[in-house]
Each structure stands twice: as structure tokens, then as C-alpha cells.
Amino acid sequence: MTAGIDPATARADIDLSALGANLRTLAAHAAPAQLMLVVKADAYGHGMLRCAAAARAAGVAWLGVATPAEALALREDGDTGLLLAWLYGVDEDLAPLVAADVDVSVQSADQVSRLVAAAAVTERRARVHLKVDTGLSRNGAASSDWPELFAAAAEAEETGAVEVVAVWSHLAAADEPGHPATAVQVEAFDRAWAAARAAGLRPRLQHLANSAGALVAPRTRYDLVRVGVAAYGVEPAPGLAGMAGIELRPVMTLRATLANVKEIPAGAGVSYGWAWTAPARTTVGLVPLGYADGIPRHAGNRAEVGLDGTRVPVRGRICMDQFVVELGADSTYEPGAEVLVFGPGDDGEPTAADWADWCDTIGYEIVTRIGPRVPRRYLGQRE
């Protein structure tokens, strides 16, 4: 356990009812495709176990994670539903996954063999999703390797060691509607499906779409959409929820109380390197969160935070544990006043999307990077 920050000083509020509402909205939008909530990376910083439980309560059939350890943590927590893990190293033992009834992604004949060995050790049938590369050039079998992968999977299925549940792939650019990659990938994915069937496989599922695909690229939805960021109320790219005709509500609100307030004279340099100097006498407040907590250092002199229904600017560089905001010459704020770093925007505070814009990144990174020192408080669901 990380020795963290006192929740009265700073915390991330996680609105599980917003998560549930987003999931229901997305499920209705993507229907008849089923929904998988992607809860890797601690549910994009929102807390994997609580978000997973909330998703199951909202009727989500599938959960998806990257690593075996994430999948096993869910099982240890009592999750028994459909669960897929897709990223592991060359030396990782797959037997614990098979033993825990976790679906495993494989992308090569070698990985099929490893899964067959895991099935033998556990005396269970391994459930496998065959990952094909359709144009991301990241994970997944290259099209030249599809025949070998499908043949190995068909042989393993024949022996009863594995059940091939799905053929799947991942999109490269669905967050840019009209990008040619999406049509290219759909066409390649259909070819992979035909090749799998020609090899004698009869998987029940095809899945390709991420949030962006689920939102605005209907042809990518197939049987199941793997939704991450949108479920947490952050658009994959600005405007995509509107384009899909739905509303999503940000699930995380990052808040802190000012640890210090003081007046500084004209000419005072603020924070490391004096990257900002007060042009006139003013008051500054100290926010007790820093880049160790996931506040991007890039946000120095760019970002704003919400205070009492208005915005105040970040001044100077973001430090490891703290940053400075300008409250104005006539400020009457005292230490203990609450600032909203980001949230849904209800009180005029910035959103994660605003921070992404200020920091030249994507909303995904803003929420996912909020670190383990920041306590999470869960709202909107009975204990």
C-alpha cells in the first residue's frame, strides 16, 4: 500500500453512478453488440475493483484487462464473469489464468502451444481469443501468419485443450472519423474471419471496436465492443460523444484544499526556475498535488483549476508534490479553500479534456496518470 495523501487534503472522487449511467448509455448505443468494460491500468486510474463491481452491477457481461496480474486480482476479489487478458511476456505462466477461467488472447502458434501446456497443467480447457493485426502494427498476428495461427488453434481445439471463443483486433484511428485506416481494418478483419472459418474454426465472437469505434464507427462493432475511456466519461477525442448523439459524464473529480495562501509582492518569482514572476502584488494558493501524483509538469503556466465557480490560473512550474495558483490581489480565500483540478465541469471547473488540451495530450493520459498517493473516494453506490 502506498503511503498516500490525507483524503481531506486531496482526493479523487469516483462517481460510480456516472460510470453506471455511461455504461448503460454505451450499451444502448452499441446494441446489439455486447459491451466489454476495459478496466486495465486500475480502470484508467479510477480503481479497478470498484469499477469492475459497478460494471457488473450495471449488467456489463465482459471485462477486459491487459495483464494477467490484473485479471487474477479481479478473480481474487470475487469476480466470476467473462474476462479477457491480452498482454503478457514471453516467460509468463498462463496456467493461473486458465485455472481462474480467464479468457486469454493469443497471437502466434507459439502462444497457442503455451496455452495448450497451461490447459494440460490445470486440466482445464483454455478459452482463447485469436488476435490478428489489421493495421495497427502493434499486437496481433500479421496477415502472413494467420494461416499458421489458425491451423495451430484448430489443432489445439480438436484435442480439446482450447476453445476458440473469438477472433479480435484493435483499431488505429477510429477517433478520427473518416480516417482511411478504419475501413482498411474492417476489410482486413473480415478477411481474417473468413480465413479462420476456412481453417475450420467456428468462434462465436468477433470484436474490433474501442470507445471511438463504438461511438462513431458502426461497422466496427461486430459482436462486442471493448469500451474504456468513454465509460469513464472522457471522450476519445473532442466531440465524438456529440457526434454519436449521446452524453457521457466524467466519472473522476480531482479535488484538493489549499495548503497555504499568501500575498506576494510585484516581481516575486514563483516556483522552480521562476518560470512566472508576479507582475504586481497578488495572492497565491498552494495546491498539495504534484507531478508525483500525476499532475502533468507540462501544465505549468498553462492550466487552470476551479475555485468557487470560477477558474484561477496555475502559476510557475508544477513541482513533485505541489503547485501554485494565483488567487488575485484582493483574494479573501484562506487555507482550506477547495479547488477542483478537474471534474465534470458542473461548477465551471476544467475537465480532463481541458487538461489534455493544455498539456498537448489526450484525456486518457490525464485520468490514468493520477497516482497511487491520491486517495479515491467512491460515490454513488451503496457500500
Ligand X SMILES: Cc1ncc(COP(=O)(O)O)c(C=O)c1O
Amino acid letter, residue 356: A
Distance CA 143, CA 192 (A): 8
Per-residue binding string, ligand X, 30-59, x by CB under 6 A, is --------x---------------------
CB of 214 to ligand X, least distance (A): 7
CB of 64 to ligand X, least distance (A): 6
Among positions 29, 170, 255, 315, the unique one binding ligand X when judged by CB under 6 A: 170
Distance CA 12, CA 243 (A): 29
364: enclosing H helix or E strand: helix 363-368
Q: Binding segment for ligand X among 50-58, 69-77, 209-217, 311-319 (CB under 6 A)? A: 209-217
Which residues from 82-101 bind ligand X, rule CB under 6 A? 86
CA distances, 41 to each of 70, 372, 373 (Å): 8, 11, 15
**How do strand 323-326 and strand 205-207 relate by DSSP bridges?**
unpaired
Site size toward ligand X, by CB under 6 A:
12
262 noted as active-site residue: no
Distance CA 87, CA 349 (A): 36
SS3 305: strand
> In this structure, what are the phi and psi dihedrals at residue 269, rounded to the nearest 5 degrees?
-85, 145
Of 40, 44, 232, 333, which residue is the catalytic one? 40
Under the criterion CB under 6 A, does residue 29 sit at the interface with ligand X?
Answer: no
CB of 235 within 8 A of CB of 241? yes
Q: Which residue in the shown chain puts its C-beta closest to ligand X? A: 228
Under the criterion CB under 6 A, does residue 210 sit at the interface with ligand X?
Answer: yes
CB of 324 to ligand X, least distance (A): 33
Tell me how many degrees the CA angle 251-307-231 measures, rounded to the nearest 5.
Answer: 10
CB of 84 to ligand X, least distance (A): 9
CB of 333 to ligand X, least distance (A): 37
Which residues from 216-245 bind ligand X, rule CB under 6 A? 226-230, 236
Cell numbers for 40: 486495465
272 noted as active-site residue: yes
List of residues contacting ligand X (CB under 6 A) = 38, 86, 170, 210-212, 226-230, 236
Report the catalytic residues: 40, 272
